[in-house]
Structure 1
Amino acid sequence: MIRIAIPADQGHDPYGFAARNHARTIMAAADAFSKAVYRDSILTLREFEGGRSRIAQINGCIICQQFRAARDASAMFAATGQRADHLVIDNGPAPDEAFYAEVESWREAKVFSDRERLAIEFAERFAQEPKVLAQDEEYWTRAHALFSDAEIVDLSHCVAAWIGLGRIAHVLGFDSICMPFASAD
């Protein structure tokens, strides 16, 4: 259920209506942050999608759970009239549906590389237990063995964007309407 008043003729795009009519500067900054994540991340597409998909599950965002970067990211930019010369979808092979099906059971699943598993673990723990994660020296030893500092900072900002913006979409009910760029599976 959408939690703010949206005129009937704008009901197809509640997020767009909110962006044009409420907290415009903040929403423009949020849009720029979100787009930067998809445009500028140095993570592989599978690492990116593993973390993104886990956050979508935790947040409960319907659109985010159905979104597939390889399929939908270009259309997301096109829907806003923007063109990106590079997107994270250029950073390696796309995950298949078996990959997405295993994200929630990442600890036992056999489809993930060590880096993909660590990215999913980071996303989950960042969302659910940030204080514990910050102090977990064993985790940070594993992270530094597999990721550069630049990749850790990149992943951290990606996860922050997904948590914050996905939760806004879910809590305000914007995810109850399928966005034009997110096609259902």
Structure 2
Amino acid sequence: MPNVAIPAEFENDPSAYVWTHYAPEIGAAAGGYSLAVYENSKLSMREMEAARMRTAQINGCALCLTMRADRDLPGHIERSGGDAGRAASIRDNTPPGEGFYSDVENWHEASAFSDRERLAIEFAERFGERPKALKTDEEFWTRMHSHFSDAEIVDMTFSIGSWMALGRLTHVLGLDDVCMPTMPQAAQN
């Protein structure tokens, strides 16, 4: 149940109503931020999905947990007015399978991840749960710099920041349970 009033005609997409009705200027900026992440990130789809899924798990956003880049991202980008041809899922033709997504929560023990994917998950986890300690962890930053350029680190930081903010907003306002069942249906249309 949403924590803000949603008219019946928006019950299948309450986020659209919330973003455009209650805070249209901020909603437009947030939508632009999200779109910029998906259209312009230089990270591979697997790296993005590793970090995005760990962020979704931390946020508790049901919609984010069910999203799959290969199935849902092109439709999301197009509905947001963007160009799906610019998406990470299009640039990197190796969509993760369901095993990948289910392994993210137990990434310490899972063997399915590359070193870069594992670091993306760790970065998302620490960014979401322990940002104060992350800032000064020299050992972590040495590992990050051994696998990612500064531009990729900033790219990943902006990406995780977007997922953290918008996933938490969606979850806290109770918009994720309402629209979760429509994500796969929207992807098929």
Same fold (TM over 0.5): yes
CA distance, structure 2, for counterparts of residue 119 and residue 18 of structure 1? 30
Q: 5+ residue gaps in structure 1?
A: none
Counterpart contact for 2:50–2:121, Cα < 8 Å: yes
Matches within 5 A, 1:58-77: 58-77=58-77
The aligned residue for residue 100 of structure 2 is 99
Q: Secondary structure at the match of 2:113?
A: coil
- In 2, distance between residues paired with 1:87 and 1:9? 30
State the AA in 2 paired with 1:138. Answer: E
Q: How far off its partner does 1:29 sit?
A: 0.3
Amino acid aligned to 1:77: I
Distance 1:181 1:70 in 2: 16
Q: Deviations over 1:18-50 (max 9, x none)?
A: 122111000000000001111100001111000
Shift of the alpha carbon at 1:181? 6.7
Equivalence for 1:23: 23
Separation in structure 2 between the aligned mates of residue 77 and residue 146 of structure 1, nearest angstrom: 29
Q: TM-score, normalised by structure 2?
A: 0.93
Equivalent AA in structure 2 for residue 150 of structure 1 = A
Q: How does 1:128-167 map to 2 (within 5 A)?
A: 128-167=129-168
Cα deviation per residue 1:134-155 (whole Å; 9 max; x = unaligned)?
A: 1100000000000000000000
Are 2:53 and 2:104, in contact at CA under 8 Å, matched by a contact in 1? yes
Q: Offset at 1:180? A: 8.1
Report what 2:83 is aligned to: 83
Q: Taking structure 1 as reference, are residues 102 and 179 closer, same or farther at Cα in structure 2, changes over 3 Å only?
A: closer
Deviations 1:42-63 (A, max 9, x none): 0011110000000001100001
Aligned length in residues: 184
1:39 and 1:129 map into 2 onto residues whose CA distance is 28
TM-score scaled by structure 1?
Answer: 0.95
Superposed CA offset, 1:67-123 (max 9, x none)? 011111111122234434310102321111110010000011000001100000000
Question: Quick one: distance in 2 between partners of 1:105 and 1:58?
Answer: 13
Structure 2 stretches lacking a partner, 5+ long: none
Q: Identify the residue that residue 9 of structure 1 maps to in structure 2.
A: 9
Moved more, 89-98 or 149-158: 89-98
Query: 2: distance between equivalents of 1:69 and 1:49?
Result: 7
Whole-angstrom distance in 1 between the partners of 2:129 and 2:77: 30
Which amino acid letter does the alignment assign opposite residue 126 of structure 1?
Answer: F
Tell me the distance in 1 between the aligned counterparts of 2:169 and 2:111.
32
